[in-house]
Every structure is written in structure tokens, then in C-alpha cells.
Amino acid sequence: MTVAIGLDGCRPGWVAVELGPHGPGFSVVPGIAEVMRRPFDRLAIDMPIGLPDHGDRACDLAARTLLRPHASRVFTGARRGLWDHASQAEANLALRARGEAGVSAQLWNLGAKIREVDAVLTPALQARVIETHPELTFLRLNGNRPLPRKADAEGLALRAALLRRAGFAELDDWLTRRRRGTGAKADDVLDACAAALAARDAIDVLPAGEAPRDGRGLRMQIWY
């Protein structure tokens, strides 16, 4: 692997962390298209890739099982057409009318980012662009021991320590001076670093073997 990029959504756009021959790099970009124009061997995105028409994705359910007792760190219910509704309430009414569970506010609020990714992804691009979930990578880095939530200082400190151990010597600078004024939060930076490791290593995947595909032929699987 020569150049690996990890992407995590943030309020102003995306945090991009690049691992390559010249060392790690950090940037905040307004749109995913800018990163897709960069040269890279593999790019991992912390956002659903592949959207079913109905029901939950098998990879999300598998990730929730692996993350227990913190299963709620994986949002379920991403579906194609969900964000065609004007509001979360309207979407949930439509889902329940056809016998499906509603979606959380957290997932609903990711709609713009999910649609941005979905607009550019093709089955051919999935040879180099994969989905990841940073919490799975942090779990692996922590010897499969559950981590405190990242909203707490203890959880942030542990994730940062795991990343420093994995080779991110510049992390403290990224979390302070480089992040200042970008609008990205500290956990956005940490998650993008974890995504970059998933892009570089692609060690484990959920589900293993042949992945289910959505109606557009996109594989629905999470690498970490």
C-alpha cells in the first residue's frame, strides 16, 4: 500500500488523513470530490456505502454485535430513498406504514453526507474505495477490549494514545494547531486517522466472504 486515505465527515465537510511515502498528512476539505481527485491506492470512508431498499444492512448488524455492549455506536436503517422525505418524522411515518422500524435522529442527520458518497460511488470504484467504521478499528487496536465513549475525556485520550502507538506522531499538532479554525472536532480527526489505518491495512471485514449488494450493485461491507 503506497497511499491510503481515511475520510470522516465533519460539520464543514470532511477530515482527510493521508498515509503515504512522505508521512501522514491532515486536511479538511469541503467535499468528497476533492479527495477523490487525489492519487491514492485505497480510500476508506466512515459513511455507509451501499443502500438497500428495505431493512437493515447485514454489515451494520454484525458491527453492532462485535461492539457490544456499545452496539448503539453503529447506526442502523440507512436505506435508498430515505432522505427523499422532507423530515425525519415524515420518513418514519412512511417506514412504519410499511412495517419497518423508524430511524434515529443521528442517522437522519447524516443524510447529506450519505447522499454525497452515494452520488460518486460505483461498483468499479469499490476496488479502491471502501466503507469503514472507526469504532471497529479502535476496538482492534485496543486488543478487542471495549472503549469508553469518545464523548468523554477518557475515551478521547485512549483513542489518541492508540493512534500514537500506531505511528501518528503528529497527532497532538493536528488536534490543536492544525485543527484550529477548521470547524472539525477532535473526535473527527481521531476517526479519520482510524479510517486511514483501515484503508492501509484492510485487515478484517464484515460480513466476511461475498458481500450483499444493493440495487446499484454496490457491496455492503465494513472494513476495519
pTM, 2 dp: 0.93
- Residue 173's pLDDT is 94
Q: Which residues contact 31 (CB under 8 A, 6 or more apart)?
A: 13, 14, 116
Task: Determine the average pLDDT of the residues in 69-92.
Answer: 94
Q: In terms of Cα–Cα distance, which of 159, 182, 180, 168 is closest to 15?
A: 182
Q: At 201, is the pLDDT very low, low, confident or very high (cuts 50, 70, 90)?
A: very high
- Residue 22's pLDDT is 83
Angle (nearest 5°) at CA 190 between 202 and 35? 65
Output phi, psi for 13, to 5 deg: 160, -110
User: Is 180 strand, coil or helix?
Assistant: coil
Q: At 193, is the pLDDT very low, low, confident or very high (cuts 50, 70, 90)?
A: very high
- Residue 1's pLDDT is 67
Predicted confidence (pLDDT) per residue in 117-132, tens digit:
999 999 999 999 999 9
Q: Which residues pair with 9 in a beta bridge?
A: 14
Q: Which residues pair with 43 in a beta bridge?
A: 5, 129
Please state whether beta strands 222-223 and 42-45 pair in parallel, antiparallel, or not at all (unpaired): unpaired
Q: At 186, is the pLDDT very low, low, confident or very high (cuts 50, 70, 90)?
A: very high
User: Is 62 strand, coil or helix?
Assistant: helix
Task: Determine the average pLDDT of the residues in 179-200.
Answer: 95
The single-letter code of the amino acid at 110 is L
Domain residues for the domain of 199 are: 4-223
Q: What is the largest CA-CA distance in the chain?
A: 54
Total structural domains within the chain: 1
- Residue 36's pLDDT is 92
CA 19 to chain centre: 17
Mean pLDDT of all residues belonging to the chain: 95
Task: Tell me what percent of the residues of the chain surpass a pLDDT of 90.
Answer: 90
Q: Residue 35: is its pLDDT beyond 80?
A: yes
